[in-house]
């Protein structure tokens, strides 16, 4: 029997971490939040209304998977520049009933008409970032449906109800989201659907606290609630998408949508200091986090000191090596010439580790341009039954392609920009191919006396190439330096970009910056890049802990 949920988002009296625009520039690692502890269940998302919607599901007896999909639908509405059914999603689920992890790859493929020759004929030297050309099959909705079918207790229609209600009634826009939205006005005005959907009076973004409604999105969700995901994958909604994409010189066909399927996969893992860290296999970049951990494990990181120059240097150099392997080998698994496990092999890792010079930054390890941009939401949830889910959903760049099919209320992703036009690589653009993906959920288990595994942590850090770097930094904060969950997320981060360029968050001091520069790193000025945003839920001996990144407008809640 499926649990019936009342389609109401509860009004929670929540003290948000960002009350005014002036707080957007606060030192992120000094935000002063506490880890959330709860006896029955927890959820952490990047926006309070999504956390509230997920918590309501848990409180009414739904499970973590129900809560995650419900929250994801709300995030499509309240963080429309980051996520939605126009994009892709991935998840790692711990099923208490099965006593194991399962992975879900709900990323879409390139259109049947998307060829390297055609892009070159059009004069491109890279897959475009904006417009209809980089639009690939949106896989997220198939993933939401697959999760609920296998592990949920509510229907997809029930999970969509809170988002439908909010889209119809409207909501006040939160500070960080308002600022990011305002930065994309120039992009949104170029497309009639985007302009009509996301700009007030067709020319400005909503201000902080200003109410925003999206009745077109409510109508789209009602259509899906009534007809199921098939309305997108070959049905009425799909036809509207294809007609508009083709009109704008894109590459999708209706058959591309109709043939799409989300794929259940086996997560890959490495042991690290008594824990087992899990990521999804390619076409994502999760393997880079695992390679970084393997490279770093023999070093005495604790003795180096947290965020010391020596510590950061080793992490940065490990990142360069792992990302070189991403660029050279990783893409659609059906087109890779190297098995993912080969990139984690002892001998391979030893050779890569030997390339780290403890005194000098490598000039350039990445063979190609590093991917440094992605707009994403990450959430995690756990329930009183023992289920946990690590869930990520993205439309890639801010508002994705910038294309909104008029009347649908959501942006289409530009994930095709993740392909390369360089020939002969696993990630070279081709028809019907999954592009290299930046979005990655993560999970950590601990060994049990009987030789099995028990769930410990579902976590993630959103934000393009910061994601593997963020995964490693959060894990080291927890496992090596013994921080509590919120402190591990709050702590100042580095973000390596390309070559010798690295950005450091403000709390990392002048002396450390000077020492890194002396080793050859080019330390960028403050404010050049973002450092991601993370969420995490942790299993305790009894009950749960949860944390949400102060770099976003998010919230961790429990009951």
List the one residue out of 133, 161, 307 whose CA is nearest residue 224. 161
Q: Are 533 and 394 in contact (CB under 8 A)?
A: no
- Judge whether 428 counts as a catalytic residue: no
Q: At what angle do helices 140-151 and 64-78 cross, to 10 degrees?
A: 160
- Asked if 12 and 557 touch (Cβ cutoff 8 Å), the reply is yes
220 touches 408 (CB < 8 A): yes
Residue 524, Cβ neighbours under 10 Å: how many? 14
Active-site position among 197, 376, 408, 420? 376
> Is the separation of the CB atoms in 433 and 332 below 8 Å?
yes
Displacement of CA 509 from its chain's centroid (Å): 29
- Alpha helix (H) residue ranges in 104-139: 116-121
Other CB atoms within a 10 A radius of the CB of residue 310 amount to 19
Strands (E), 333-452: 375-382, 388-396, 403-404, 411-412, 442-447
Q: Could you give the 3-state DSSP secondary structure of residue 123?
A: coil
Q: How far apart are CA 514 and CA 503, in angstroms?
A: 13
Q: Which alpha helices (H) appear in 248-401, and where do they start and end?
A: 254-258, 286-296, 301-304, 309-329, 346-353
Catalytic residues: 376
């Amino acid at each position: 029997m499926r649990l019936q949920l009342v389609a109401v988002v509860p009004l929670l009296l929540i003290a948000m971490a960002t009350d005014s625009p002036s707080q957007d520039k606060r030192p992120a690692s000094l935000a002063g939040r506490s880890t959330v502890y709860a006896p029955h269940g927890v959820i952490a998302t990047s926006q309070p209304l999504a956390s509230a919607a997920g918590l309501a599901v848990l409180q009414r007896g739904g499970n973590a998977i129900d809560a995650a999909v419900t929250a994801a639908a709300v995030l499509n509405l309240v963080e429309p520049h980051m996520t939605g059914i126009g994009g892709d999603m991935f998840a790692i689920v711990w099923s208490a009933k099965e006593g194991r992890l399962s992975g879900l790859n709900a990323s879409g493929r390139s259109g049947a008409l998307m060829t390297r020759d055609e892009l070159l004929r059009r004069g491109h030297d890279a897959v475009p970032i904006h417009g209809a050309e980089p639009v690939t099959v949106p896989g997220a909705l198939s993933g939401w449906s697959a999760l609920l079918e296998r592990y949920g207790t509510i229907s997809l229609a029930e999970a969509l109800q809170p988002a439908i209600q909010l889209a119809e009634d409207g909501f006040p826009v939160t500070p960080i989201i308002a600022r990011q939205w305002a930065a994309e006005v120039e992009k949104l005005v170029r497309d009639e659907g985007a302009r009509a959907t996301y700009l007030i009076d067709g020319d400005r973004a909503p201000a902080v606290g200003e109410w925003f409604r999206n009745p077109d999105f409510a109508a789209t969700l009602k259509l899906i609630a009534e007809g199921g995901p098939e309305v997108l994958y070959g049905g009425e909604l799909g036809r509207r998408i294809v007609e508009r994409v083709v009109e704008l010189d894109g590459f999708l066909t209706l058959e591309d949508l109709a043939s799409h399927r989300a794929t259940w996969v086996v997560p890959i893992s490495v042991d690290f200091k008594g824990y087992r860290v899990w990521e999804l296999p390619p076409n994502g970049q999760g393997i880079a986090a695992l390679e970084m951990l393997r490279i770093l494990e023999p070093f005495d990181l604790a003795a180096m000191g947290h965020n010391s120059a020596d510590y950061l240097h080793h992490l940065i150099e490990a990142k360069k090596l792992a990302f070189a392997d991403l660029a050279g080998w990783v893409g659609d698994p059906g087109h890779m010439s190297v098995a993912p496990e080969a990139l984690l092999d002892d001998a391979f890792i030893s050779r890569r580790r030997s390339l780290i010079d403890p005194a000098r930054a490598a000039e350039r390890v990445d063979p190609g341009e590093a991917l440094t941009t992605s707009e994403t939401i990450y959430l995690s949830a756990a329930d009183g039954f023992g289920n946990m889910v690590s869930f990520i959903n993205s439309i890639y760049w801010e508002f994705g392609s910038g294309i909104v099919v008029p009347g649908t209320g959501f942006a289409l992703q530009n994930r095709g920009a993740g392909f390369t036009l360089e020939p002969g690589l696993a990630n070279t653009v081709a028809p019907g191919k999954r592009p290299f993906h930046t979005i990655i959920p993560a999970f950590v288990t601990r060994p049990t006396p009987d030789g099995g595994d028990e769930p410990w942590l579902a976590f993630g850090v959103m934000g393009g190439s910061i994601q593997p770097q963020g995964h490693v930094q959060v894990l080291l904060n927890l496992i090596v330096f013994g921080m509590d969950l919120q402190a591990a997320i709050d702590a100042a981060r580095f973000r390596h970009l390309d070559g010798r360029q690295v950005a450091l968050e403000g709390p990392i001091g002048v002396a450390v910056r000077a020492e890194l520069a002396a080793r050859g790193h080019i330390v960028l000025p403050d404010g050049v890049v973002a450092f991601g945003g993370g969420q995490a839920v942790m299993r305790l001996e009894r009950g749960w802990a949860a944390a949400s990144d102060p770099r976003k407008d998010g919230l961790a809640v429990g009951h």
